[in-house]
Amino acid sequence: MEVEQFEIYEFLRRYAPFDGLPDPVLKDLATTIEVAYFRAGSQILQFGQALDALHMIRSGTVEVFRRSGELYNRLDEGDIFGQLGLLMNRTVRFPARAVTDTLVYFIPAREFDQLFENHEAFADYVEIEDRTRLRQAVSQAEGSNESMTSKVRPLITREPVTMPIGATVREAAAKMTEEGVSALIITEGEPGADSPNHGMAGIVTDRDFRTRVLAAGLPLDTPVAEVMSPGVITIESSQYVFEALLSMLRNNLHHLPVLHRDRPVGMIAISDIVRYESQNSLFVVGRILRQQNVDELVTLAPEVRASFVRLVNEDANSHMVGSAMAVIGRSFKQRLLELAEEALGPPPVPYCFLALGSMARDEQSVVTDQDNALILDNSFDRDLHDDYFRQLAAFVSDGLARCGYVYCSGGIMATNVKWRQPLRVWERYFAEWIERPSPETLLNSSIFFDLDGVYGRTEWVDHLRKEIARRAKGNHYFLACMARNALNRTPPLGFFKAFVLEKDGKQRDSINLKRRGTAPLVDLVRVHALSVGSRSQNTFERIEDIVEAKALSPAIGSDLRDALEFIALVRIRQQALSLQAGQEADNNVEPQQLSHFERRSLKDAFQVLSNAQKFLKFHYHPNRSA
């Protein structure tokens, strides 16, 4: 191979769709390519002219136009054009002009045809538009590690063993011995979606017999209902093994019934998951809940970062990583609250400790601050009780800061008396924010409308979510204000789809993927979710609710999911790379550090965000009728 051809070969192998071709094919292709030079301002392709080659930009910048003369795209090094004309009738469909002095590689039509026929990935690439390309990018980025993408169902080895609620302890123990199982589902009524808890009244395990029957000296004719664990927590067979583990660790469970179409189909034990996923990094949750003081909790901070890096390196998707980090964060809060109560004594009135923002949405990364609040029982008396809750809030907040969750710069913490209020005050807050929106309350809405109960009377959170959904749905003025607020952060794309970078500060020449990517996506999805009365917290689940309510088409919903997933993936991968290099992780990325594939796909994702914001601006305009 001559020097010039070797240079062409080296260039091709760096860019899609050629980077996936076999090496011998690529080397042969390099020998067929011709090079042409175009001065700035000169026409490269005219509409309707005969087309005999695929064009690839070696250097320079090219503008591509629609037939009407409207600018369609701006391309630079490594980009291709002319493929649609080759696929259609060998004539130019999109005229092209050199913006700067430009070198172009010509790949002959016959070579293009052979690549198209013989290499599926090449054919897929040249056939698809930006939206489909983004879907392909996300698909390629999704986890290939079997343990992170496997469903619960394969772990089920047999149908669930059940006993009716009227059985005795003796009968239940005999059944477990006969069937060789360590847990029974206790049934009441017929299983199904319309029956309470799908016909399951509770679970009884070997451990229950030891601690609640033998140790307590109960007779064998004791009704099994008296020793079972009620309030059954379940998981769907279509969910991930990863999610089953999170549920069991979060709720301190050893057995988890599995449902399929609202009917019990089996039971999995923690030992099943341990055997299946013995190296799962989320076992750090169990360690958090066993630590005896704040100093011991602080020693686990490096393990949290290591868990994050392992998850990313195992190709977990952003939803999995976000859920895992949120569960770890909640576990720190739960253990700190337990330690606080040990130090301060039992609380004078019931309370619920709230997680807000990304932790509530299960979208947390390793770079995060603490957003939290306290709901207090309506019997709360500030003069009598607030000193206790002030100390409790400080204990938790200071402990979180020591464990790596920095203080919220905006003061959204339970240490702020404004966010340490009785339930009736929270009800009034949300009513006022929705009925009389202002710049300050709209900011509060964006933070506090993502809420989750971490500890205590978590049913109060369900009540507040219902109130938010009821009041926001159909309130066109409030939704218009929220939509306008959601447009304050725009994607970092210029007119010609070029990245708009930070111009000064230590983050110069970079993009903040949270501020300019994931955050505005989360904001606009929240507005749509409020408009349809969704009570979901996770952004991906909110998108499902919006599409189901027909507020957005399935295609647009898919675009939003793919855009959020890809931007979030680039963000967490850059954070993991920083941690592995011994550097401080942040939300910024320098485009020149990304591959051509990542830069192109990021532009596609940002374009989806831009289009979605334009729709939001029109759809929730205050003068537009419902």
Q: CA of 523: how far to CAs of 99, 324, 622, in Å?
A: 36, 22, 18
Report pLDDT digits (tens) over 94-147.
899 999 999 999 999 999 989 988 888 888 777 665 555 666 666 655 544 444
Which CATH number characterizes residue 349's domain?
3.30.460.10
- Domain final position from 403, 438, 470: 470
Q: Which domain-ending residue is among 276, 294, 319?
A: 276
How many angstroms separate the CA atoms of 625 and 479, rounded?
A: 12
Phi/psi region, residue 405 (left: phi>0; alpha: psi -120 to 50; beta: rest), is beta
For the residues 579-594, what does the mean pLDDT come to? Answer: 88
Q: Are 275 and 239 spatial neighbours (Cβ–Cβ below 8 Å)?
A: no
C-beta atoms surrounding 193 within 10 Å: 10
115 with 181, same domain: the answer is no
Same domain, 446 and 508: no
pLDDT of residue 19: 85
- The answer as to whether 137 is a domain residue is no
Residues 584 and 489 in one domain: yes
Compute the average pLDDT of residues 618-624.
70
- Give the count of domains, the chain: 4
pLDDT (0 to 100) of residue 598 = 81
Nearest CA among 212, 207, 215 for reference residue 226: 212
Domain containing residue 614: CATH number: 1.20.120
Same domain membership, residue 93 and residue 13: yes
Looking at the structure, tell me whether residues 196 and 215 fall in a common domain.
Answer: yes
Residues 243 and 306 in one domain: no
Mean pLDDT of 254-262: 84
CA 610-498-560 angle, to 5 degrees, is 25
Question: What are the beta bridge partners of residue 56?
Answer: 80, 105
pLDDT digits (tens, 9 = 90+) for 498-544: 677 766 666 677 899 999 999 999 999 999 999 999 999 999 999 99
Is 177 a residue whose pLDDT tops 60?
yes
Distances (CA, A) of 526 to 73, 126, 357, 449, 550: 30, 35, 12, 9, 15
Q: Which of 212, 242, 276 is the last residue of a domain?
A: 276
pLDDT-based confidence at residue 496 (cuts at 50, 70, 90): low
Compute CA 162 distance to the chain's CA centroid, rounded to the nearest angstrom. Answer: 36
- Cβ partners under 8 Å of residue 251, min gap 6: 233
Arithmetic mean of pLDDT, 419-446: 93
Calculate the dihedral angle through the C-alpha atoms of 328, 333, 337, 343, rounding to the nearest 10 degrees: 90
% of the chain at pLDDT higher than 90 = 51
- A 10 A CB-CB count for 462 gives 11
The answer to whether residue 148 scores a pLDDT higher than 60 is: no
pLDDT of residue 1: 61
- Does residue 466 sit in the same domain as residue 513? no
Query: Over pLDDT 70: what percentage of the chain?
Result: 90
170 and 240 part of one domain? yes
Same domain for 614 and 484: yes
25-53 residue pLDDT tens: 999 999 999 999 999 999 999 988 999 99
Q: Are 579 and 367 in contact (CB under 8 A)?
A: no
**Does residue 593 belong to any structural domain of this protein?**
yes
- In this structure, are 340 and 464 located in the same domain? yes
- As beta bridge partners, residue 151 has 240
Residues 477 and 456 in one domain: no
Structural domain for 33, as ranges: 3-127
> What number of H helices and E strands is found in the chain?
25, 21
Verify that 170 and 197 share a domain, yes or no.
yes
E strand map for 474-587: 511-512
What is the average pLDDT across 543-555?
Answer: 91
Asked whether the CA dihedral 171, 175, 178, 182 is positive or negative, the reply is: negative
